[in-house]
Amino acid sequence: MASSTELTPEQKLALIKSKLDEVLHPEMLEDIVLKQQRPLTLYWGTAITGRPHCAYFVPMIKIAEFLRAGCKVKILMADLHGFLDNTKAPIEQVKQRAIHYKRVVQSLLKVVGVSLEKLEFVNGSEYQLSAEYSMDNYRLMTIVTEHDAKKAGSEVVKQISNPTLAGSIYPLMQALDEEYLKVDAQFGGVDQRKIFTLAQEILPKIGYKERIHLMNPMVPGLQAGGKMSASDPNSKIDVLDDATSVTNKIKKAFAEAKVTEGNGLIGFIDTLQSPEGKGSMKFTPREGEPLVYSNIDDIRKAYEADTLTPQMLKAGVSDTLNTILAPIQEEFQRDKDWQEALETGYPSEQPDKKKKDKKPKDKGSRYPGGIKTNPDGTIEGPDAEKVKVGENVQDALQNLEVK
């Protein structure tokens, strides 16, 4: 496709809206692109929680399209949001997880052809701990009901039977981020729609303008029903999964013959398709010549006709995905800081490198003073709160290393 300087305003608008599930305030988008004819400024944020997976290709490819349309894009590493999401990321691990997330996002962007020089990366804690931001957050707390805050975060914040107040603050902060990042629009998944609509309702009440919201569809998980999620290892493929793990996970993926609706593998192929329709994908049957398709519509038709079988689909996706992930994993192997960030950010997910001396049996979280570390890095036990949040403000800030 031509560079952004060669595109007409109409072509830029079409590229911005391409493959989006929904746009809130499309008239505002048209005013900026068609009438004002200036670059749209937007941000995409990711909460620092479970390890990033291959569904992240969806926003990365869309960000590449935004840049081709001449948009200015900011990437928010929402470290404090990750901490607030039912303390999935204990404070002392937040900073390391943020490093891992940034490296993954940067590698994915490079794979899809994005120059990192065109992007601005921001950690949420850089401005979310300021007095001004805190005061605005308090102002929102006086006008947003507990019911509305909980409803807004219901599709994004982990829901538990006895939730803390942190989950209710999360949507308010996401709304405020739009003002403090000075953007025209926020981009995210359609699962964030309730947070987006809350932001449009509450920001004007404290003197800030409404923003445009751009929503991409969600990638189905590898199992039947639901989205690809970092909290469900059976539904996702980690960006750093080796070739054998990728192949084995895809072999176990749910793929009903002749049915494309809700098929996570076809959904993933769809995310890799560019608006220009460039590129092709090859599927090799046990006998005969390989089948080559240049667009997702032909793939769907072939699958529904059973010309393309589930076995062929799985093999083709495995080969393609392993090829795409190879340079990312090679970069990871060369980057010692990235490796250290992963090991310290997700200690319970690291394999034992050598046999260690026998230790006393873990008596679990019910034992007085006992602390249990879960697979996603969260911790439990009588003293867990001290570990999660620190014993005082100075301790918490030191763990976050916020300056």
Q: What is the domain class of 12-216 according to CATH?
A: alpha beta
pLDDT at 318 over 50: yes
Q: Are 79 and 110 in contact (CB under 8 A)?
A: no
With a pLDDT cut of 90, the percent of the chain lying above it is 61
Fold classification of 243-336 is Tyrosyl-Transfer RNA Synthetase (1.10.240)
Residue partners of 98: CB distance under 8 A and separation at least 6: 48, 77, 79, 123
**Tokens linked to 146:** 């507990």
Q: Are strands 291-293 and 281-283 parallel, antiparallel or unpaired?
A: antiparallel
With a pLDDT cut of 70, the percent of the chain lying above it is 79
Dist CA 163 CA 337 (whole Å): 35
For 369: left if phi > 0, alpha if psi spans -120 to 50, otherwise beta; the answer is left
User: Which pLDDT belongs to residue 164?
Assistant: 83
Longest pairwise C-alpha distance within the chain: 70
Q: What is the pLDDT of residues 176-204, one digit of tens each?
A: 999 999 999 999 999 999 999 999 999 99
User: Which pLDDT belongs to residue 309?
Assistant: 96
DSSP state of 34: I
Domain limits, CATH 3.40.50.620, in the chain: 12-216
Q: Are 43 and 177 in contact (CB under 8 A)?
A: yes
Give the other-Cβ count within 10 Å of 277's Cβ: 11
Mean pLDDT, range 328-342, rounded to an integer: 96
176, amino acid identity: L
Q: What is the pLDDT of residues 82-120, one digit of tens each?
A: 888 755 567 778 889 999 999 999 999 999 889 999 999
Domain limits, CATH 1.10.240.10, in the chain: 243-336
pLDDT at 228 over 60: no
Dist CA 92 CA 85 (whole Å): 15
Q: How far is CA 282 from CA 292, 300, 315, 326, 361, in A?
A: 4, 14, 10, 18, 52
Residue 211 main-chain phi, psi, to 5 deg: -115, 165
